[in-house]
Structure formats: C-alpha cells, structure tokens
Structure 1
Amino acid sequence: MCMLRKCATRDSAVMSLNLLPRSLAYVDAVAKNGSIQAASRVLGISASAIDRQILLLEEAAHMRLFDRHSNGMTLTKAGEMLVVLARRWRNDGNALWSEMQQMQGVDLGQVRIAIMDSQVNGMIPDFVGRVAAEFPLVQLDLEVMSPGDAVQALDQGIVDIALAFNAKPHRNIRALWSERLPLGCVVAPNHDLANEESVTLQQITEFPVVLQSQALSIRQYLEADHEWLIHEGRQPVATNSLQLVKRLIAQGRHVALTSELDVSAEIFEKRLVFIPIADETAAAQSISLLVSAVRELPTVSQLIMDILSACARETLSRVRQV
C-alpha cells in the first residue's frame, strides 16, 4: 500500500462513531504495524492486552490469525479475512456517522479517495481547497494508489471514491465519468520536437526515453503493444518516480510517453510541452471516476465526488486549450 497523504479539514474536536469491536481493531492495528509491540505504541494499549484479545480470537476460530516470526507478525489467510471485515466495519461506521450528521443538517464526515501519483501536483490541491471552502467539517483521506490497487480498495470498502487511470472493468465497480486520454510525447520547451504538431513513435526512438514504473498501466501498455520502442530507444531510463521523470524531461534531453493529465501543472506553467502521437496504433488511455456498485455513498461523499469530478473535467478542458 502506498503512503497515506491526509488533508484534514474538520475541527479536531469532532468525534466519529466507533462501532468496531476492540478485538478486530487490535488485529487490524497489528496487521498495519507488523507486530504487537508496534501496534501497542500506536494505540497506546498494553502489548499484553492486544496479545490476549488476538489469542482469544484465534481460540474461538480454531485457527491462527498471524504467523509469528522473530522480526514481527504476518497475516494468515484467515487473518486477512478478518482484516477485510474490520476495515469494512470501520468504514460502514464512518458512513453511518456521516449520514446521522446529515440528518441534523451538518455537512460532516470522512471521505476516503484513491488518487494517482501524477494528480498530486495537478488538480488535487485545487480540489482540496474547494472542499475546505465549501465543507470545512469534512475530513479528506487521500491515498495514492496504482489503478489496480484503487479498484481493489473500492471493492473492499477501504476507499469511497477513486480517480484512476486505465481502470479495468470490475463487476462491483461503477464508472460515473470517464474520458479518453490520447497518448502523447512530453518534452521540454527547448527540445527539438517541441514545435511539432504531432510525432510518430519512430521519431521518439531518436531521443533518450524515460519510462515510468512497470507497476503503472502506461508502462504495461507500452510493453504489451510497443515493446520495440523500449528496446530501440536511445539510452532508456526507467524509474518509479514521476517527479524524476519530469525532471529528466525538463533538462531537455529525454522524452516520455504519457497523457496530458500526468503533466497538467507543468503544461500550465509552460515548463513542459505535450505533443500528440500520430500513430493510429497508439491506443488512448482513460481516466475514470469510480465508486462501488454495491454500496451507496453517504450524501456528503456524493457532494465531495461532484467537486472532484468538476475539478477533473475543468483541468482536462484547460490543458487541452494550452
């Protein structure tokens, strides 16, 4: 799981409804922190109390929830099932609390959103600012994930909303909005290709190419349909850091293949240039706003989702006018 980035915009004195049984909370904490001792420090509960609750659960289930090692603990299959239950239970409690506050006319709650790394320097700061202005008592939990992890988190109830690139269809996930993102070549303003109206994939091989992580769908797409490009490119560089990708492009030597949304902030500031790919074989990517098809969002989450959708649409419209 990627690192959590939180943007808390509600008063710290506002309480949430905690309906999660203590034993499940302890199992989840140990799973997150890797050991009883680490969970004890985070929760402020004695290690012996946590251990006792886990042992009671294991005794009742007649199976181990954790494999115990000299350097920590890892979940068994049964333990993984309990953790999924614990997180869904906690999420349902948060949703119930939000709905109860809505009944009192208070726009309060916690909204958990999966986002992509490239959006952090793009539309997300504007989105957070709008939410803070319109719903000051709402807490946003923004977690950077890969598209596959975002879909899985939605399915498991770990997040409420996802804004994901190239999300694969899933029977329990519904796309409320989706937009095609043509593949493009990104270069510095002083690059030899910068003034071209479009470029071919063959032209790109004449320059050093910087590739994104294999965990990302854009890299998987390139390897599946255009593997020759990776091998024929001059001095290719691969990295899991999008910031490094952008820095290398900005230096003027490297080029990258991605969508305009990946570099929207840099395009607005005229630090990078996006050039469409002319090849008909260069299939478009997509961006989608996703929710669970089996769970209804609380009212406040739907309102936050509308703001996120508007930010995404406006950013895409602006970047295409540059």
Structure 2
Amino acid sequence: MHSNFLKYFDEVARQGSIRKAASILNVSSTTVNRKILDVESQLGTPLFDRTPEGVALTSVGTILLEHCRKTLYDFERAKIMMDDLRDMRTGHLQLSTIDSVAYGILPDALRQFSRKFPDISFSVTTAQPDVIMQSVAAGEIDVAISFLMDLHPDVRVVNEKSAPFGIIIRPDHPLAGRPNVRLVDVAGNRFVRTTDARGGNSYLDHRVANVANKLKTHVYSNNLFVAKEMILAGHGVGIYTKIGFLDEIRAGKLCFVPLLEDGLSDIRVATLVSASSGLGPVKHHICKVIGDLLTDLRLDS
C-alpha cells in the first residue's frame, strides 16, 4: 500500500476524525478521505464506521492499523539506521571469541569490516564458551563468536554454522584420508589437548566426560598456537573443530577427519549479540561479514 495512505490512515485512527487528521497532516480532508475510500474499495470492506461525531475503526480497520503502524515503525527505524550508517565515522567494538575462531576467520572478518569502517577500533579477547555467553548476556561484549551451547535468554543468535569436532593429524598419519573416525579408533594415540585457562576442564572434556579421562595425553595447553605446533611436530593427535586449522589444512600440512561421536558431531559455532542492545549498522555489518565467511566454509569434512 502507498506510504501516504499509511500515514493518513494512522492519523485518522489517532484523531477519530478525517478533518482533524487532515489538518495535522497539512492536506485537504478530501485528499485523505479519497485515499481511504480507494483502499476500502480495493479491500471490499470499510475500515471506519462514519458517524456525525467522527470515525471509529471497524474490526478490519483495527487489524490493518496494527500492520500500518508496524510498517511505519520499521520504515522509520530503517531510516535511522541508514542515517547512522552514513554518519558513522568513529567508534569501538568489543569482541570476544573462542580461541579457534581467533586463529581462523576473525582476522579476515576484521580486515573486510575495516574496509568499510576504517576508523572503528576493536578490542578482541578470547575466552571459554560459558564466559563468552555470560559476557554477552551482561552487555559487556558487543559481538561474540562461540560454540552454541546453553543459550542464555538474554543472548540473540545472529547466524550459526555446523562445526563438528574431529581429529587433527598430519598427512602421514595412518588415519589420514578416512571419511570419519570414532574415538575408539584413535584411543591408542597420544593426544594434544586443550585445557581451560582457569584450571578447569575444557569444552571437549565436558562434552565427552565419560571418554576424556581415558585418552592418553602427551601435551596439555590452553593456547591453540602451542597445540598446533605440537601436532605439526608429530607429538600427538588433536581433537578440535576444523576452524582453527584452516590455513594448515589448505596448505596440506594437516588433515581433519570428522568424529562420529555423540556430543561432538552436532557442535555449532554462532555469532552472538545481546538480545536487549539491538543490532545497529556497525554490529549488523560485522555480523554479516562473519556470517558470510562461515557460510563459505566447509567445516564438516
């Protein structure tokens, strides 16, 4: 429907009078009335009951008014966002992510984002998924990328991607080239494993608590770079998502083999924001960049 009709219809409903609405809108009563009559004719039903005292919404008019006001609100909000986008010159984004994303797609995302917003600065921290979720819910973080687990009611998922765990091995490992494996297939290997920097169990340990303590671990580290170097040097097999090893896998230095294991094959990585803070132009753009990069990745094989 024409935007003029939406404005006319909304104002007539507010005033209960075509004449009063026309005066506020600075148009003639005839113009307002004709526009409403045209739409009533198209719909085949009246939107207002006309009385000597003015007009009152019919049941159909009440339904249409809800649509009308939502459309006007969304349009005004879109205009504000576009104005914000045009006026945006400086600002700061607080980002938090799991370690693997910091080594994977985040640098590319920031490079792409900075081409459009060169004067926006960043703070980037890495943390465990539970800490990230709480920080986003509390409004301490603008945008986060983390495993999608135990979603907090105050956190909104903007986009997500399947990112199952698998083994990370060198190309000369006997299991390289397998379409998938189970933990029992690799139980005899030495492992390179992640520890929580706080001294607790890692995300992997929580997902496979009944198996994790049986793995023969050669190297523990809370730093993905160290873990990666140990795997490259042949000191063990890693159990990670593919996202933190993309460069090495593309270069043929490492291989990823998906794990067919309950709790490890259904993992998803998501872009998260506070449900209460809204998604302005800057956050919307960084989330879109991250989402596009995730979409282009094949993380399950």
Give the TM-score range, shorter chain. 0.5 to 0.7
Report the alpha carbon displacement of residue 189 of structure 1 after superposing the two structures with TM.
1.2
Contact 1:150/1:164 (8 A) holds in 2:
yes
Alignment of 1:113-124 (within 5 A): 113-124=95-106
Of residues 92, 117, 120, the one that matches 1:110 is: 92
Paired letter, 1:143: T
Q: Aligned residue for 1:226?
A: 211
Report the alpha carbon displacement of residue 106 of structure 1 after superposing the two structures with TM.
3.1
1:275-309 Cα offsets, whole Å, 9 max, x none, are 11234675422201111111213322212221122
Q: Name the CA shift for 1:160/1:279 in 2 (closer, same or farther; >3 Å).
A: closer
Aligned length: 218
- Give the TM-score of the pair, scaled to structure 2: 0.65
Identity %: 22
In 1, the alpha carbon distance for the partners of 2:121 and 2:83 equals 13
User: Is 2:279 the partner of 1:294?
Assistant: no
**What secondary structure, in the 3-state scheme, does the structure 2 residue paired with 1:210 have?**
strand
**What secondary structure, in the 3-state scheme, does the structure 2 residue paired with 1:211 have?**
strand
More displaced 10-residue stretch of structure 1: 168-177 or 235-244: 235-244
Q: Which runs of 5+ in 1 are unaligned?
A: 1-97
Of residues 203, 211, 216, the one that matches 1:217 is: 203
Paired letter, 1:162: A
Of residues 227, 237, 255, the one that matches 2:237 is: 255
Q: Name the CA shift for 1:182/1:235 in 2 (closer, same or farther; >3 Å).
A: closer
Report the alpha carbon displacement of residue 263 of structure 1 after superposing the two structures with TM.
1.6
Q: Name the CA shift for 1:279/1:297 in 2 (closer, same or farther; >3 Å).
A: closer
In 2, the alpha carbon distance for the partners of 1:150 and 1:281 equals 20
1:95-154 Cα offsets, whole Å, 9 max, x none, are xxx989827633432222111212222112211211121111212222212211111111
Q: Aligned residue for 2:248?
A: 266
**What secondary structure, in the 3-state scheme, does the structure 2 residue paired with 1:198 have?**
coil
- Give the TM-score of the pair, scaled to structure 1: 0.61
In 1, the alpha carbon distance for the partners of 2:234 and 2:203 equals 25
CA RMSD of aligned residues (A): 2.5
In 2, the alpha carbon distance for the partners of 1:202 and 1:103 equals 53
Q: Name the CA shift for 1:299/1:244 in 2 (closer, same or farther; >3 Å).
A: same
User: Is 2:223 the partner of 1:241?
Assistant: yes
**What secondary structure, in the 3-state scheme, does the structure 2 residue paired with 1:159 have?**
coil
Of residues 189, 193, 205, the one that matches 1:207 is: 189
Report the alpha carbon displacement of residue 166 of structure 1 after superposing the two structures with TM.
3.7
In 1, the alpha carbon distance for the partners of 2:100 and 2:264 equals 21
User: Is 2:123 the partner of 1:141?
Assistant: yes
Q: Which runs of 5+ in 2 are unaligned?
A: 1-79
Contact 1:207/1:253 (8 A) holds in 2:
no
Contact 1:211/1:219 (8 A) holds in 2:
no
In 1, the alpha carbon distance for the partners of 2:180 and 2:116 equals 41
1:151-182 Cα offsets, whole Å, 9 max, x none, are 11112211111110243211111112222222
In 1, the alpha carbon distance for the partners of 2:260 and 2:287 equals 34
Q: Aligned residue for 2:151?
A: 169
Q: Aligned residue for 2:108?
A: 126
Would you identify which runs of 4 or more consecutive aligned residues in structure 1 move more than 6 Å?
98-101
Contact 1:197/1:275 (8 A) holds in 2:
yes
In 2, the alpha carbon distance for the partners of 1:288 and 1:140 equals 19
Of residues 151, 171, 178, the one that matches 2:160 is: 178
